[in-house]
Amino acid sequence: GAATNYFKSLAGRPDDFEASHWLAPVLVQTGDVQSYEQLRRRMLARFGETTDPVIAERVVTDCLILPWSRPELERLGNIADTALSAGSNHWAWNSIQFAKGLAEYRSGRFAGAVDWLQAPLREQGRDLARDVEAYMVLAMAHHRLGFAGYAHDALTTGLGIAARLPSSGNDLKDWNAWNDWIIAQALMCEAKALIEGPPKLS
């Protein structure tokens, strides 16, 4: 399918970060977990040593749309720290903090995740898809810590923001954050399943 063709084109451009960055969420959305697994291993191998804070932030986020295993998580935590070294004046600082929060959550450090995720949410409204992502991971972290009320509040707030975002393909074509919207939707499914349980059959 399209993913296979994309992999063939990627093979000819192994150092093209943008191609990998746009492909990762699409593979998750289409349920091609095997190709996503291949792609994120390739991203970690190719870009794991980057000193560019934006590439570092994107590698962490793109590789952790779905949970991952221990050795990779440690490496991604270090890559998130590389991004953080850019400092709070960097234009992508909110996204960098989100990437660190996501890495903390995936690593089972739920209190650390809450700390890193609350800061970007103080400046809501600039990037709604990223706000939804942050609320979903925040909700899951609170749930894991046993704070059911906080978890439900974060989930409800994030879902409320999501309801205002474009839902159709036509709207998304003109929106350069569509990949973050796909990531947000994947995290919404994960958070709802964790906090509300499997959907009840009517």
Q: What is the structure's pLDDT at 179? A: 85
Q: What is the structure's pLDDT at 7? A: 53
Q: Where are the beta strands (DSSP E) in 104-168?
A: none
Q: What is the structure's pLDDT at 8? A: 53
**C-beta neighbour count of 163 within 10 angstroms:** 9
Helix (H) or strand (E) holding 96: helix 93-106
Q: What is the structure's pLDDT at 155? A: 97
The mean pLDDT values, 10 residues at a time, for the chain of 202 residues are 53 67 91 94 93 95 93 94 95 94 97 93 82 97 97 96 74 65 95 87 66
Q: What is the structure's pLDDT at 80? A: 97
Q: What is the structure's pLDDT at 56? A: 96
Do residues 117 and 138 lie in contact, with contact meaning Cβ atoms separated by under 8 Å?
A: yes
Place of tokens 């890193």: 116
- Distance, CA of 73 to chain centre: 14
Helix, strand or coil for residue 166?
coil
49 Cβ neighbours under 8 A, 6+ residues apart: none
DSSP code, position 61: H
Q: What is the structure's pLDDT at 114? A: 97
Q: What is the structure's pLDDT at 123? A: 77
Q: What is the structure's pLDDT at 188? A: 97
- Alpha carbon distances (Å) from 101 to 26, 145, 186: 22, 15, 16
Do residues 156 and 112 lie in contact, with contact meaning Cβ atoms separated by under 8 Å?
A: no
90 Cβ neighbours under 8 A, 6+ residues apart: 53, 96
Q: What is the structure's pLDDT at 164? A: 87
pTM assigned to the model: 0.88
